[in-house]
Each structure stands twice: as structure tokens, then as C-alpha cells.
Structure 1
């Protein structure tokens, strides 16, 4: 066993009902073996935590033979198939289902310009004001924005700003969207590792966000200033796919999607541009993630710009 005691259970708040939910950890036995077992962690780091293994695993999930996993996956995690764009029989592989689109209007983004909507189905934590050192707390440690962005100069734009962390479980809808209308610059790829982003892994390796491969997009929002979108890959993530075209984009427009595996989004905001909803601030102070869906209101435009 490792010398560090890890949290054995994970809970989050279902915002719509107010219920505290025990999270079913995808591939829990494997994840605990890799992160809670001393020898398992060594095997993971030397043999599995690399581009080649994750690419091969992603390609395997593209094969037609993986279609047999879909029905079992849907039943176990109670996925609402009434929302999916296609009938289950029309998905040619597990990866095709994993990165599924939803039916039109399954996720509604309000047209009110002062409302900031969640860009993805996820469990979120909000950070209304980052420290002068531009750090985002992650479990028992913290990650600097410069490390996250891989750019000290870009990090200064968000000094003492705000941050939003969105964690997607493997059974979530894995496409992400723009939360406002504005201009999106081309995404920049940052090479890195392939750690899981589950809280079990974050408890073991606290700087995963700055270690993993990721993509950074600078977005000049019409109503919320400059925003950095950071898509963070994870263990067995085959690819982070960008589907938008750089230039003018619109609120609710799809930005891209993750292929197989759990994953995380981090959004960084300039100081004084957004006011997160009070309930999210309070729960984040308690360390309790809140589940929201893409299009749900999570904040408002700060009417008094600092």
C-alpha cells in the first residue's frame, strides 16, 4: 500500500434535487490498484502512463467489437438514452457512443447575455478569486496558472481572477460548449502525461492538471472578458477533438469533445468579470463538487468591473 491515505468514497451534490450522491467510480478496482497499491502505481507509471498505450487503447475502443459494451454501460450508469442523438444500435463502436451528441434542445443555453452557462455536463468547483500567486487549489495542494497554461506571460492576464473546474465522469455527455458569444483563437496543444483525473488519483498526485496533456484556447468573450479554456486529457483518453472553427463563435455552440475516458475542463477568467452563483461558492468552500448540465446557469456578469 502507499504511505498516503486516500479518500475511499466520493460524493457530489445533485444541484437540481439537492441530494448528496455517492459516485460510482468507473473501473474502480483498476483505479484503486493503480493509485493505492505501491506496485500498481509503479507499473502504471512505467508501462501505462504514456501516449502509446493510451492511443492503442483508444483505437481499441473504435473497433466494432466494442459495441457489445454499450448496453451494459448504459444500464450500469443509468444513462438517459432518450437524450442521445441516435438509437444505440446506430453507434458503430463504444467510442462512438462515448462521444455521442445529444438531440437538439437536450441542453438549452439561455440567450440572456448576462448569464454564464456551464459549458459541459460535469461536477464543478468554483474559485471566485485566485491568489496573488495565481494558484488554483487542488485537493491538499495547488497548481499555478503558469504551469497549467505552460506560459508565464499568459498567466498574468488571469492574475487574481477567477477559475472554474469541471470534472467529467466517463459516463457523462462528453462534448463541451462555448458559454458566451465571442471570438475563439486556435487551440494550442501541450504535451504531457496521462493520469486519471478522478479524485482518487488527485489525492495521490496533486499536480495532475499541470502534468497531463491538455489544450488551451484563448476566448475573447462578448460579456465575460477574456477566458482561457483548458481541456485536460486523462488516462485512456484517445484524443481531445476540437470541432469549432477559430473566429466568431456563439453561445451554446459545440467547441469539441473528449474520446474514451474521464476528463476535466478548467476555465480561467480575468479579475472582476464573473460572479459565480452563491450556492456554488459555498459548496466549493466545503470541497463539495456540484453536478450541473451544459447550459445550466452557474454565474452572472459582474456589473461592476474592477
Structure 2
């Protein structure tokens, strides 16, 4: 299966839309052209390229990219605390903060980020969206046998942040948040161009794991995943404290990325439309604070 375009469901209209993908032709070359495999394995998946590009996005002259990026991706800057001319670098724009009322925090379990979501009632149902045989291994992803036993048979939601999305992530529920566990890895793309045929890249990429202890949903595992051109995963919360739903947890520096949520068996009911769209092969557009389960 080779994707020609990335389609997703707009939750508000239930319409199928096509995602605007920066660097689309390059992604297709890397992941769907035999000649793309060499640069992918030798350079693109490695930290050096993403770190180098991330540093370029920290430089003052990178502000010249902001205006065109906003225009080409139809970004609503009325939500931003800063205006286009106030940013000090492209990265400063990329992980911009929104105005306090830009996102409504709804009842129930909410999305930790703006992005496209897929949901699985049972973790091993992932092959209803991704191609069978692409070797996602929960044990390898968690790198911890105790966590494996805890979340085996549970539910999973993945929210994929495209480069045009708001790139701060937040807590999906009230609870007590623990300290982060970093797992080193590569920087493969998390675009559907890459992961539809190889969901296993999630097990290869750099990621962080944190447990949120909640009274409503059990222990929710929150995991941020790095990807190509993601310069870093920055946590802004204080470990071992009580947090409120919708409070900021951290942000990604330049690039696309994902937030993965794991739930213990029987603790969460993911919203029906997200499950249905996933089974039909579509991601669902969600916004931070929007209800995704109960």
C-alpha cells in the first residue's frame, strides 16, 4: 500500500479532508522509493540531522520562514499570544503559546494536543489502521516488563502532530504526574507516509514515558515520541505533583511528532467516532482539550 495523499476526518463536519504536508515529495521519496532507503538509514533517521536543523530554526534569521509557513498552512494567528513580528526565531513561533481561552477544556478524557488521532479499544487492534506485519511490539516500545503487564490488553490513543499544528502538549485528565523515563532512539518520520506500512517505527524512535495517576481512568501512560526534524522533547511540568486537566506538560521543538496514551484494561471508553474512523483507515482531527473518551 502506497499513499498518494493523507486523508483524515474533520470531526466537526464528518468530511474527509486532505492534509497539507510540508516536504511531502521528500517523504514519499524516502519511504516509498527504493533509492530513498539509503539516505533514510544513513542520515535522516539519525539525531545529527534533526539536531542540526533544530539549531537552524533557533537562529534569528529563521524568522523569515514564519510568514510563508503561516500563509501556506492556514494557521490562525489570532489564537497566538504573540504576533508574527514578535517571534525571535522560527522555533519560538513553532512552540508558541496560545491565548488562555483558545482551547476549551471539555468534560471527560481530553486530547493532550492538537493533531490527528487514532484509537484502539485493545492495543493489539492496531492492525486495523496500520498494515499487518509492520511489527509494533508493546514490550519493545515500553522497554519495561512491569509496564507491559500493566497495560497488556488495554486501550491506546495516538495523537499525531503535523508541523503546522500547535506544538505544546497538555494533561488529558486530573491526577498525580510522575517523573519521565527517557528511551533513546532514532528520528524516523511519524507521517502516515512512513508509518502506515511500518508502525514499528514508534518502537525505534526516541520517546519519553510518564505515568499520570488518576481516580477516573486508572494509571494513564503518557508518551511523547520524537520524529524527523524534532529538535527536542521539552518537559515543563514538575514531577510528583498534582496536575489539572488541560495544564501544560511540555512542548516539541521543530518538526512533526506524536503523543501516545496507554490505558489499563477496562479503564477507558474511547469515543465511538474515533474508533470507527480508525477501523475505516482514517485519522480524526482533534484539538487539545477536546473530549476523546470517558
Query: TM-score normalized by structure 1?
Result: 0.91
**Pairing 1:44-123 to 2, within 5 Å after superposition:** 44-110=40-106, 112=107, 115-123=108-116
Deviation, 1:130, is 2.9
1:53-86, CA deviations, whole angstroms, 9 ceiling, x for partnerless residues?
2111100110011101000000001000100111
Q: Which one of 186, 190, 196 corresponds to residue 189 of structure 2?
A: 196
- In structure 2, how many angstroms separate the alpha carbons of the residues matched to 1:202 and 1:22? 17
Q: Which residue pairs with 1:154 in the alignment? A: 147
Q: Which residue pairs with 1:303 in the alignment? A: none
* Helix, strand or coil at the partner of 1:216: strand
Structure 2, unmatched stretches of 5+, are: none
**What number of residue pairs does the alignment pair up?**
290
**Cα pair 1:180 1:222 within 8 Å, conserved:** no
Q: Which one of 202, 207, 232 corresponds to residue 200 of structure 2?
A: 207
- In structure 1, how many angstroms separate the alpha carbons of the residues matched to 2:279 and 2:30? 29
Q: Which residue pairs with 1:249 in the alignment? A: 243
Deviation, 1:30, is 1.6
- In structure 1, how many angstroms separate the alpha carbons of the residues matched to 2:222 and 2:27? 27
Q: Which residue pairs with 1:295 in the alignment? A: 289
Deviation, 1:197, is 0.4
**Cα pair 2:230 2:253 within 8 Å, conserved:** yes
Once superposed, which parts of structure 1, at least 4 consecutive aligned residues long, lie more than 6 Å away? Answer: none
Deviation, 1:142, is 4.4
Q: Which residue pairs with 2:260 in the alignment? A: 266
Deviation, 1:39, is 2.3
- In structure 2, how many angstroms separate the alpha carbons of the residues matched to 1:154 and 1:49? 27
Deviation, 1:269, is 0.2
**Cα pair 2:137 2:200 within 8 Å, conserved:** no
Q: CA RMSD in A?
A: 1.4
Q: Which residue pairs with 2:173 in the alignment? A: 180
Q: Which residue pairs with 2:38 in the alignment? A: 42
1:104-130, CA deviations, whole angstroms, 9 ceiling, x for partnerless residues?
1111213x4xx1111111111111123
**Cα pair 1:162 1:269 within 8 Å, conserved:** yes
1:116-167, CA deviations, whole angstroms, 9 ceiling, x for partnerless residues?
1111111111111234xxx743611341221111112211101111100111
Q: Which residue pairs with 2:130 in the alignment? A: 139
